Structure 1
Amino acid sequence: MGGQGNCVDGKLDDSGYSSPVPLIGLYITGATLVCLLFILVDAFAGFRNRKRWLPCRLFSLNSITLTLLSIAVKLPLDLTSSMPRVQDQLSKLTSTTLICICMGIFMPSLGTCRESESFNNMAALSIFVVTIAVNVCIQMYTGVIILYRAEHIIILFCMMILLVALWYFASEIHSQNEVSHDGIKDIFMKGKGSMLHRLKVSYLRGYDSNPQFMLWRCPLSILVATLCIISSVVLMRVSFRYLVSKTSDVCEGVSIYKWSMASIVVSQITTILVGGLAITFRFFSLFGHTVGEFGMLKEGVEDAEAIIAYNPIFRRTSFFYLKFYARKVVEIFVITISLLPSLPFAFLEGAGAKLSESWHNSNTEKEVAMEELKNLIHDEGEMDLDKWTLRKGVNDMKKWIEKANTSNQLIKLLSKTPPLHQHDSPFRRLKAYYDSRKSGYQVSFLSVVLLVRVANISIPHFLSGSLSSILNEVFEVLQFVDKKMSASSFENKKKYVLAEALHESNNFNSLLPDIVRKSGYHDGEFRNQPQLIQSIAIVKGLKTVLHRDYVRDELAMLTDFIQQQDFESIGEFYGYMEQLFVDMLNEFLVQLPNAIFREIIESNGEDCEKTIKFALKVVCKMEQLEPLVRWSFPVGTTITQLASHDHELPFV
């Protein structure tokens, strides 16, 4: 056994303590590579979705990424392990720099967290960063870190300024989100034109009010980008000098991480390089916005002075006055300091802007259309959106609106078989039958799915196949309406989940052998029966082969109702089922404007853009049905049309 971990001759045998450390080094490398993967996926998604601020989805500030980062930067927390080689000393600097880069990448994600969650994450990050800074200072004092001390001091300074900047962003963004979200709701509720038109305008406003976009185009984001770029440049300079000069080791020996140290250094330098490039791209793409908004600070001060002068309450409240001006002084000071090292970038960005402007000026039609769009938006909600935001928002909207096409089969079905509103229509009789069996029972989304499944198994495919295709086309819309307009009871939630599962699963054809067996017919005898007899027998036997649950209960009521009808042919049977299906579809589709209105009004600031995007896709998918469906609009609103091209936006 070797006596490892025991006392030998009165002394503790610690010879085996360092044996698993190289494996721990691989664990550190693995955590770093996961961070790199998250950064790459976010960058790819940003380019793919044409969002040049590269939103943080996977690699955002949360408990998972903080845990990964704490593993990846374990080396600066190691106070006692000797680091004799230059490579070992470099690993301390790479780990510390990695924290700066990750903080810069985290920054936009602060806008997507709820206020309490954001402050909790920032508190955890602060404890982690301060602990790292204290540990690095201790190691420089004790001699564990003997190389690159000046570089460590620069990185620690950048790290602490970044932490202060992140706290500022976390404290400011949530109030801005609430104001922006209220503005979007106001545009949607009080705007002009159809729901489609209002959604397009609201989407452009939501695109401009994206919390991550708002954070990165804030003037103080220049400071964050500059500090991250400085940190990366400092590390790359040291790494280049180490690789090119082949600096000899300061002392003899090898650290306890041994051969795994090389993988740690390489993985961290790669992650810093990729993260630094992502931040630099953000910086270049939005530099014009951040510098352009510098003038807004002066306007904000003037607005505050006007408010204070107009309202004597604020004039007497010195705390409000001092707090506002203190914040503005800090902003102006920080921006001024951060702009100094950014002058080379400003020159490059200015040259690029001139080239871009000349290219855009060559496209006269596009410029005219953008001006028309901008004027239209000013009329709608007095929104001050720049050309870049308008162009990117319109292009993004155009990209996925073009994919939203209404099913031709659905249009043909509604044109051929319009919904019946008579008292004795199949759907009215079904509702009355449901109510007689179970008081207050409502036709649900599950009823629609079950009706199609019953038709699929009981009616030949050449007749009933189109019902399945149509259901697949409008499934997302029906699901959305049912979820928003149904009562949030346990029973309705359960039926909603069952309908989704039933739609994704195979149809009822696998139940056919059991149905035939329980019907009293032999297989051959059953097949020799007329098609109508077979269909009625299948409908009658369906409920007998299922276990008792919500599906069985709903199916039993539906099949019992169908059996009460008299049919003379399979064609008449299918016609009845088709009319019932159309009436059910209409019951849900007419509520679409109400569901969209409720979804947007009830949404919170973090999900605003996604909510409007989904609603806009649904409306574009259903806009061709406007002449065929009697939409039900929210009471008390001025929305009278779902989709109208009287106020169409350019490019869309």
Structure 2
Amino acid sequence: MASLGCDAHGDLNDAEFSKPMPSIGLYVAVASLICGLAMAADLLHGFRHRKFWFPCKFFSLNATSLTFIAVGIKLSVDLNTSMPSRHDQLSKLSSSVFVCTVMGNSMPSLGIMENEDLLMNLMALGILVVTDVVNICIQLGTGAIYVFKEEHFLVVLLMLLMLTILSFSATTVPTTKRILETKYKKKYEVALKCPLATERTTVAKKIQQDLSKFWMMAHTSSPQFVMARSVTCTASGFFCLLSAVTLGEAMVRSYLLTPRSLWFCNGDSDYKWSTSLVLVCQTGAVTIGTVAPAIRWFTAVNFRCPIRGKKYYRDEFRVESYWTNWFSEKKQRPSSLTILKDRRCRKIAHDGKRWMLDVCIGTQCVIVFASKIIRYISVYCVSRILICCYFAIRRSGTVSHGESDSSGSRQELASFVLHLEGEDELVDLMVRSNREATDHWVKNGRKKQPLDLIELLEATTHVSRGFEGIKEFDSNEVASLAASGEPPNCWALPLVTLASVAVALPNVKPGSIKKLLNAVNEALDSVNKFENVLDSGGELTNLRKAAEVVWLGVDLYHKWFDVDLRKLSKQERSTEETLRELVETAKREFSESWQMNLMVCMKHKPSRWPVKTLAANSMYRICQTILQSYESRDYGTGEDLLRKIESIISDIVSGCFCNVAQVISAKCLVTAVEVREESVRAAALHLGRTEKILEIVERRCLPDLRCDKMKNIDEWRAFYKLNSSECNKNKTVSLNSNELCIIVD
């Protein structure tokens, strides 16, 4: 009997070895398709969010994408498999062009990487590209690649050029981040002090104007955008387009023009039908992936077209200092060569390092200079076509002659554009392209307004013109359950506890409870976001966790821990008896949790108590407070008490919303530079969703409370305790961020 891999005579039987090859080809096609879909997602994301420089959100250089790329170039690095037919040879070329497309498409993603990740990813990409280039050269020498030799030579050259551009462009990332971060902090202070010149507007409109300044700063300093608008990225886009054109030329020449003159060999490769699938998938990926780099290149060319009446030839070919700053800093630093004891050896090593860095500086200058030449030549060639199109459109009378009504606003916004050396001419373009971005996000946010919360606030504002509910939900006269003190209050926990009490009330319409729960759910979406920013020290973390745990049970199951609130509301009891039942339940839960976590409770301060202990304490105090008020005021039926609870909830939510400008300003400053743009966009969307709420809150009168104390609900309560008058009748709510002190560590 023959052993595995041998025939009956003991000789090697390799007839079976080629059977898995079509499956391998299918694997390559799937990997290429995944990369193509990710690049398509980035393209759609750019169009959808009006970011026509196309940031890398779904496809960037990382371990996952590099793995897919390595699989995708399997055919081009295969040295010894016979690839005789037309689609076999084209699939080898498409695999090489695929690498160029990937590098051109993912260049902006360099900006969001940390230094270590940047180095490791570029090293991995370099190994992959060099391996591909070496294998292609071997195949050109052995005859495995016997057609499209000129195309392969060109693509190999483009791959090496793009890898060099990618690697040297990455060295500018730490420098540009540092420069723009310094500028951002300076402009941030200016933005808070200098409101845009405009007529008297509402609070929401003033916050929107501040957001437009924050957006302009965050967007123009975004590391991906900085990389995408660089001259090297423009050159990379041109090379990417050229490689795609090379593949297109080879396909047209092989299928349409003179296919017989290319003398393809007869027969099929071991990959069989899968090479055609690979060719289709990679051609699709190349086509989709070339769009973003080509648009970046064309945008740079279009902006510098002479029809705009400006010429920048004087500084066109100057290499700015930030391109070589990283190498210069490394050159000035002493070498850490402690392993070398001999002074002469250390001197030789140090001189060698300086020589290598001088070579790198020279190479960087050549790359930037060559990229600017490519851009200049592109402008010269393409401008002829653009000029013809411009005059044709002008003759038809469809050219807009400017926006004089908004020129003042544009000029003021231009001062908040953060740009690098040599980018002065881009300032006006960036303002024109992004001036209305904030308005766009706010309008999108208005489509998703919290209608139930707005209805609740509208219905209760006429009852309470101030924020009396903040002092009324927890009475100082209620006895403490623990001798070690009382935990502080946060904004969220009283809301969910009051909602829990409302669900348990007897003789209440189910529709009223449903609307209240929806309103509280919508309120918590904002309150939780606010507290994450306002509680910068994490002092109230356990209280916020307690609110989340309680709300999960109430919202989904109408339960407060193990207590079925709906079942409790349907019992034949009065409102007072139901409240006393909740008090006893809270005392029992508190006692059990306290005994189980005695060491933790005694060791830590009250704000660090376990979640269940904090939730039970909140339920006990709020129910006891209502009972005390119940004895002095006749609230009547459960519906009447529900109205009072709704009023208290409305006051707490309104008080929390008085911090909106602080939250937005702090969020726009402390967020990491890589995600700051997204943070400002989310703030604009949230402003649109809650714009109506701010208008309602603005109608209330605000106590004379300092802005740094306004973030803490206990500071509101302390103020009301010391001041008998609820509010200064001559004051109205002022949520303008320019009048607030920003509390950022």
**What amino acid is aligned across from residue 269 of structure 1 in structure 2?**
T
Contact 1:228 1:279 in 2 (8 A): yes
**What amino acid is aligned across from residue 102 of structure 2 in structure 1?**
C
CA separation in 2, counterparts of 1:610 and 1:426? 37
Deviation at 1:42, TM superposition (A): 1.2
Residues 224 and 615 of structure 1: is their aligned pair in 2 closer, same or farther, counting only changes over 3 Å?
A: same
Q: Does 1:607 align with 2:607?
A: no
**What amino acid is aligned across from residue 555 of structure 2 in structure 1?**
N
Contact 2:553 2:559 in 1 (8 A): no
Contact 1:35 1:59 in 2 (8 A): yes
Contact 1:94 1:269 in 2 (8 A): yes
1:159-210 CA-to-partner distances (Å, cap 9, x unmatched) read 0000111112211133223322332332222331365433211212322333
CA separation in 1, counterparts of 2:483 and 2:224? 53
**What amino acid is aligned across from residue 555 of structure 1 in structure 2?**
A
Aligned to 1:251: 265
Aligned to 1:235: 247
* Aligned residue among 364, 367, 371 for 1:334: 371
Tell me the secondary structure at the aligned position of residue 256 of structure 1: coil
Aligned to 1:371: 407
Aligned to 2:541: 492
**What amino acid is aligned across from residue 284 of structure 1 in structure 2?**
F
CA separation in 1, counterparts of 2:487 and 2:706? 22
Contact 2:441 2:684 in 1 (8 A): no
Deviation at 1:443, TM superposition (A): 2.9
Moved more, 478-487 or 62-71: 478-487
**What amino acid is aligned across from residue 369 of structure 1 in structure 2?**
D
Aligned to 2:218: 206
**What amino acid is aligned across from residue 288 of structure 1 in structure 2?**
N
Aligned to 1:58: 58
CA separation in 2, counterparts of 1:401 and 1:518? 43
Tell me the secondary structure at the aligned position of residue 58 of structure 2: coil
Contact 2:244 2:287 in 1 (8 A): yes
Aligned to 1:628: 700
Tell me the secondary structure at the aligned position of residue 12 of structure 1: coil
Number of aligned residue pairs: give it: 624
Deviation at 1:116, TM superposition (A): 2.3
Aligned to 1:87: 87
Output aligned runs, 1:474-485, within 5 Å. 474-485=523-534
Contact 1:46 1:54 in 2 (8 A): yes
Output aligned runs, 1:48-197, within 5 Å. 48-191=48-191, 192-193=194-195, 196-197=208-209
Deviation at 1:155, TM superposition (A): 0.2
CA separation in 2, counterparts of 1:49 and 1:475? 27
Tell me the secondary structure at the aligned position of residue 172 of structure 2: helix
Tell me the secondary structure at the aligned position of residue 52 of structure 1: coil
**What amino acid is aligned across from residue 400 of structure 1 in structure 2?**
W
**What amino acid is aligned across from residue 148 of structure 2 in structure 1?**
Y
Q: Does 1:454 align with 2:495?
A: no
Contact 2:582 2:620 in 1 (8 A): no
**What amino acid is aligned across from residue 560 of structure 1 in structure 2?**
Y
1:54-83 CA-to-partner distances (Å, cap 9, x unmatched) read 222111111111111111111122111111
Deviation at 1:629, TM superposition (A): 7.0
Moved more, 29-38 or 490-499: 490-499
Structure 2-normalised TM-score?
0.73
CA separation in 1, counterparts of 2:734 and 2:394? 39
* Aligned residue among 470, 480, 487 for 2:519: 470
Moved more, 461-470 or 158-167: 461-470
Aligned to 1:553: 613
Tell me the secondary structure at the aligned position of residue 54 of structure 1: coil
Deviation at 1:30, TM superposition (A): 0.9
Contact 1:457 1:507 in 2 (8 A): no
Residues 257 and 449 of structure 1: is their aligned pair in 2 closer, same or farther, counting only changes over 3 Å?
A: same
CA separation in 1, counterparts of 2:138 and 2:477? 78
CA separation in 2, counterparts of 1:293 and 1:476? 50
Residues 495 and 165 of structure 1: is their aligned pair in 2 closer, same or farther, counting only changes over 3 Å?
A: same
Contact 1:197 1:644 in 2 (8 A): no
Q: Percent identity?
A: 21
Contact 2:162 2:239 in 1 (8 A): yes
Q: Does 1:402 align with 2:443?
A: yes
Tell me the secondary structure at the aligned position of residue 121 of structure 1: helix
Contact 1:196 1:644 in 2 (8 A): no
Moved more, 126-135 or 369-378: 369-378
Contact 1:430 1:561 in 2 (8 A): no
Moved more, 259-268 or 151-160: 259-268
Contact 1:199 1:616 in 2 (8 A): yes
The runs of 5 or more residues in structure 2 that have no matched partner are 196-205, 306-310, 324-331, 333-353, 597-609, 710-732, 740-745
Residues 283 and 456 of structure 1: is their aligned pair in 2 closer, same or farther, counting only changes over 3 Å?
A: farther
Residues 552 and 44 of structure 1: is their aligned pair in 2 closer, same or farther, counting only changes over 3 Å?
A: same
Residues 25 and 354 of structure 1: is their aligned pair in 2 closer, same or farther, counting only changes over 3 Å?
A: same
Q: Does 1:594 align with 2:640?
A: no
CA separation in 1, counterparts of 2:319 and 2:46? 31
* Aligned residue among 209, 234, 238 for 1:222: 234
Deviation at 1:468, TM superposition (A): 2.7
CA separation in 1, counterparts of 2:667 and 2:216? 18
Residues 276 and 356 of structure 1: is their aligned pair in 2 closer, same or farther, counting only changes over 3 Å?
A: farther
1:27-65 CA-to-partner distances (Å, cap 9, x unmatched) read 111111111211211111111111111222111111111
* Aligned residue among 265, 271, 287 for 2:279: 265
1:255-306 CA-to-partner distances (Å, cap 9, x unmatched) read 11011111111111122122223332332234234777775556776999xx
Contact 2:445 2:685 in 1 (8 A): yes
Tell me the secondary structure at the aligned position of residue 606 of structure 1: coil
Residues 126 and 424 of structure 1: is their aligned pair in 2 closer, same or farther, counting only changes over 3 Å?
A: closer
Aligned to 2:46: 46
**RMSD (Å) for aligned C-alpha atoms:** 4.2
Which structure is higher in helix share?
Answer: 1
1:486-540 CA-to-partner distances (Å, cap 9, x unmatched) read 2665982694486189359734436799648997xxx9xx644445544654675
CA separation in 2, counterparts of 1:17 and 1:303? 55
* Aligned residue among 333, 348, 359 for 2:385: 348
CA separation in 2, counterparts of 1:582 and 1:38? 45
Deviation at 1:368, TM superposition (A): 0.9
* Aligned residue among 415, 420, 429 for 2:476: 429
Residues 280 and 303 of structure 1: is their aligned pair in 2 closer, same or farther, counting only changes over 3 Å?
A: closer
* Aligned residue among 506, 509, 515 for 2:555: 506
CA separation in 2, counterparts of 1:233 and 1:516? 69
Contact 2:318 2:369 in 1 (8 A): no
Contact 2:547 2:615 in 1 (8 A): no
Tell me the secondary structure at the aligned position of residue 433 of structure 2: helix
Moved more, 470-479 or 574-583: 574-583
Deviation at 1:469, TM superposition (A): 3.6
Contact 2:220 2:430 in 1 (8 A): yes
Residues 321 and 233 of structure 1: is their aligned pair in 2 closer, same or farther, counting only changes over 3 Å?
A: closer
Contact 2:414 2:427 in 1 (8 A): no
Deviation at 1:254, TM superposition (A): 2.0
Deviation at 1:231, TM superposition (A): 0.8
Q: Does 1:585 align with 2:653?
A: yes
